[in-house]
Structure 1
Amino acid sequence: MDGHQFGPWNLLPDDILELLVGRNLCEIDRLHARRVCHSWRAAFARIEPPPPPPPLPLLLLPEADDDEHGLAFSCVLSGWDTHPFFLPRAARRRARCFGSCDGVWLFLAMEDGLQGDRARDHVLVNLHSFQFLDLPNVIRLDHTFPQLMKDIEIAIVAVTLSRQPTQQGCVAAGIIELPPFPIGVRPFAFWRMGDRVILPFYEDVFGDQAVEDVIYHNGYFLFLTQDEHIRVCQEPVFHDTNVDVDSILLRFEPRVDDGDAVLARYLVLCRGKVLMVVRLGCPHRRSPTSAFRVFERVDYLVVNAGVVEVLEHTWSEIDELGGRMLFLGRGCSRSYEEADGYPGMEGVYFLDDRSFRDPIFHDPDMVFDHTYHCCDNGRWSKSPFNVDRCFPERGRSKISPPVWILP
């Protein structure tokens, strides 16, 4: 068949163009399509293609040690393609990402290489407006003995907010690392947006369990422990020298063994419920993730002889995702619905956060590979059972682990 009988691209009928752009779910790709030629721009001005679904998180992949391509922002809606999306100049050099929040806000620890690994400035930056908000760099100890009061440097490794960071009354809950603590021990802390110093609290809320994740739900901060219990904390009350924290520990019944090694645990809010997602795999592989299990929090009353004795808690496994799209990131996990315009995209979307347990503070005289894993990123589906490492390959980074950019 003579190919010349088909008109050039600029003569495509409007209905064909509308079909093409309607199948493209990414607003950035639609914008690029309008720039193909003058005829396409004119055609798109006449037609009204169906609106795209709300944007999904972008995966920010940091610069790898042996890579000259720089930062990569990978888009799920574009079939894992990359988009131009830039960090402010001040945040591009030695900036460790440790989370994000809605509205393309990114949490960064900007390290000063001239002063060593321990010199860092924690900030929250908006990638649209380039607005910077200060975060704490130290915690104050000990307000009960003024003569011993001292500010200890911290490293923030995960954080969640009670509301948008520019709203009045925004409170942050973070998982932090302190140099004096043993390796692997990471307490949590609270502060108000704009605070440069974290004030101490002394209620018995730390316990002896490592904290896996934190979310904010219905006026409470929920901390997931390594034993899969939940520490529930009300929004704290801030005083001049300390913070009052009221909390309870919800103990969950032990689950059946997962079989494989547990790599991580996450809390996700989905359909008004609190979910726990367990990540399974072999920690010694280059890309260790092999599967996920998804559980829903279930609370029930134990009744004996018609008298309510106690409130029990358990994790009930979800057999099917049922159209859920779960994006996992400590402090910033989000859920979406396939029915809201994302056909065929049900699944669990994960990034390589296995460096979360590696110490940030360490003896500079020790031989320690202080790099971040960046290759175990992808999507897991329950039916068919499959792990698809669909995002671009990326080697280890000396700067930062991957992170979601939340729209």
Structure 2
Amino acid sequence: MSAAQSPRRPWPHLSDDLQYEIVRRIPCEVDRLHMSRACRSWRVALTKTEPPAPAPPPALPWLLLPEVDGEHGLTFSCALSGWRRTHPFFLPHAARRARCFGSYDGAWLFLAVDGQGPRGEDHVLVNLNNFEYIDLPNAIFHFDWIDPENVDIVAATLSRAPTEQGCIVAGIINSFLSHHQIAFWHMGDRLFSEAEQTVWLSPLEQVEDLLYLDEDFLFLTEEEHIRVCPELTIFHEYPERILWRFQRRRRGEEEEQVLARYLVESRGSLLMVVRLASGRCQNLPTSEFRVFQKEKFSNGEEEEEDAFQFHEYYWSELDKLEGRMLFVGRGCSRSYEAADGHAGMEGVYFLDDRSFVEAAIGDAPKLPYRCSDNGKWSKSPSQSQGQVERCFPERGQPRSKYSPPVWILP
């Protein structure tokens, strides 16, 4: 039979059983939506499919990568569609060229858009589901200065959803006077004062990451200690200040350099994820991760609480992830379970956030931003160090004029 005489394949008239077999192999919700738009008969059939189409696994973070030219906004890739596939993502024009510096659950994104900041930026929080905007501070008011000092917010996290009453924001900020210092403010404030800044770091101490956990804001330092500020005392005249001091762990990293440290809550425990590069040269890509769990020394005595209490802990290295999926990013790291419908996806998922480190040494953010060191690190029992898979899509040139990559937390 010639091609001209061949009957057309009956795609619009697939049986329910066959459609079910297709749907159950498409875990990505966006891909399922696109499937329903293929034709009217598919859309109708999908609502009648028996047995019911299986629900997709719990949502994982999306990787948002900025367009190289900034004209089309951002695109996102999801783990459930294999990472290499991208879905188009719409943003208002002003946000397409914004600097992303973090995210929060519910598709909230921290942005620095064109405005009045030190590089012509205004800090805002935008919801990507409904495009609701909330203004964030751009400056600190010093009591002995005439004019407020402009700042850059380079990472942030929240005590609760931003639309809930009493939401407090903790940020890592860069200013003319210092880099990677701590600041707090109430959601909706456009300015924060020195009295509310609550900075208690030594001049040479740099903050690597921050996390809100059990009504406390935690700040991980370069020395791998944690500064703790209980939420309820932040704006008091004498806020409670706690130091979790960790025994200096033995390092086997003489031939490696630490690129980043992150805090992650997982299974009721606090983890520190250390990101490494092989060698001491600049601009080397990620090659290895080491994961540590917070452990407390036990001396059999009860500790008394104090206004500035030191607590002694140590970091215990985990030999394996045991089914964890750790998505790491400044202020927005999250832990998921491979057993919750994500079989075979154990690992550490990371994105290119080297501009954060450059900002601490006064060199950045340099433009364009690097966007190519994104991937997944995994380790099997037969591997001594694990391996990195560059599993995220290449976006043309490995740099962006406007922003580094960022996670979006559904």
* 1:387 maps to 2:383: no
**Aligned CA distance change for structure 1 residues 136 and 360 (closer, same or farther; 3 Å):** farther
C-alpha separation between the residues in 2 aligned to 1:265 and 1:26? 30
**What are the Cα deviations for residues 69-89 of structure 1, in whole angstroms up to 9, with x where unaligned?**
652211111111111221122
Counterpart for residue 254 of structure 1: 248
**Contact 1:236/1:244 (8 A) holds in 2:** no
Quote the offset at 1:237 in angstroms: 4.7
**Aligned CA distance change for structure 1 residues 311 and 69 (closer, same or farther; 3 Å):** closer
Question: Which amino acid in 1 is paired with 2:22?
Answer: L
**What are the Cα deviations for residues 171-206 of structure 1, in whole angstroms up to 9, with x where unaligned?**
01100000133xxx3211000000111121486721
In structure 1, the residue corresponding to 2:299 is in which secondary structure? strand
C-alpha separation between the residues in 2 aligned to 1:324 and 1:358? 30
Q: Which moved more, 1:197-206 or 1:152-161?
A: 197-206
**Aligned CA distance change for structure 1 residues 173 and 39 (closer, same or farther; 3 Å):** same
Counterpart for residue 77 of structure 1: 80
**Contact 1:235/1:245 (8 A) holds in 2:** no
Counterpart for residue 318 of structure 1: 318
Question: Which amino acid in 1 is paired with 2:248?
Answer: P
Counterpart for residue 53 of structure 1: 57
| Alignment map for 1:3-402 (pairs within 5 Å) | 8-47=10-49, 48-64=52-68, 71-80=74-83, 81-93=85-97, 95-112=98-115, 118-142=119-143, 145=144, 148=145, 150-181=147-178, 185-201=179-195, 205-207=200-202, 208-235=204-231, 237=233, 244-259=238-253, 260-282=256-278, 284=281, 288-303=285-300, 312-359=312-359, 369-383=366-380, 385-394=386-395, 395-402=398-405
**Aligned CA distance change for structure 1 residues 360 and 279 (closer, same or farther; 3 Å):** closer
Quote the offset at 1:343 in angstroms: 1.3
Q: Which runs of 5+ in 1 are unaligned?
A: none
Question: Which amino acid in 2 is paired with 1:128?
Answer: N
C-alpha separation between the residues in 2 aligned to 1:254 and 1:247? 21
C-alpha separation between the residues in 2 aligned to 1:214 and 1:312? 19
Q: Which moved more, 1:2-11 or 1:82-91?
A: 2-11
**Aligned CA distance change for structure 1 residues 20 and 186 (closer, same or farther; 3 Å):** same
**Aligned CA distance change for structure 1 residues 24 and 31 (closer, same or farther; 3 Å):** same
Q: Which moved more, 1:277-286 or 1:79-88?
A: 277-286
**Contact 2:94/2:114 (8 A) holds in 1:** no
**What are the Cα deviations for residues 154-180 of structure 1, in whole angstroms up to 9, with x where unaligned?**
000000100000000000110000013
**Contact 1:214/1:222 (8 A) holds in 2:** yes
**Contact 2:368/2:400 (8 A) holds in 1:** yes
**What are the Cα deviations for residues 341-377 of structure 1, in whole angstroms up to 9, with x where unaligned?**
11111111000001112239979xxx99532110000
**Aligned CA distance change for structure 1 residues 20 and 286 (closer, same or farther; 3 Å):** farther
**Aligned CA distance change for structure 1 residues 308 and 164 (closer, same or farther; 3 Å):** closer
Question: Which amino acid in 1 is paired with 2:201?
Answer: F
C-alpha separation between the residues in 1 aligned to 2:77 and 2:368? 21
C-alpha separation between the residues in 1 aligned to 2:125 and 2:211? 18
C-alpha separation between the residues in 2 aligned to 1:116 and 1:254? 39
C-alpha separation between the residues in 1 aligned to 2:30 and 2:233? 43
**Contact 1:302/1:311 (8 A) holds in 2:** no
Q: Which runs of 5+ in 2 are unaligned?
A: 305-309
> How high is the sequence identity, in percent, across the aligned residues?
55
Quote the offset at 1:42 in angstroms: 2.5
**Contact 1:301/1:311 (8 A) holds in 2:** no
**Aligned CA distance change for structure 1 residues 18 and 152 (closer, same or farther; 3 Å):** same
Aligned pair count reads 389
Question: Which amino acid in 2 is paired with 1:334?
Answer: R
**Contact 1:231/1:250 (8 A) holds in 2:** yes
In structure 1, the residue corresponding to 2:122 is in which secondary structure? strand
C-alpha separation between the residues in 2 aligned to 1:320 and 1:393? 29
Question: Which amino acid in 2 is paired with 1:378?
Answer: G
Quote the offset at 1:397 in angstroms: 1.2
TM-score, with structure 2 as normaliser: 0.87
RMSD: 2.9
Counterpart for residue 405 of structure 1: 408
C-alpha separation between the residues in 2 aligned to 1:276 and 1:72? 29
Question: Which amino acid in 1 is paired with 2:189?
Answer: D
**Contact 2:73/2:90 (8 A) holds in 1:** no
Q: Which moved more, 1:33-42 or 1:45-54?
A: 33-42
C-alpha separation between the residues in 2 aligned to 1:230 and 1:116? 30
In structure 2, the residue corresponding to 1:357 is in which secondary structure? helix
C-alpha separation between the residues in 2 aligned to 1:200 and 1:396? 36
**Contact 1:123/1:135 (8 A) holds in 2:** yes
Question: Which amino acid in 2 is paired with 1:141?
Answer: H
**Aligned CA distance change for structure 1 residues 274 and 150 (closer, same or farther; 3 Å):** same
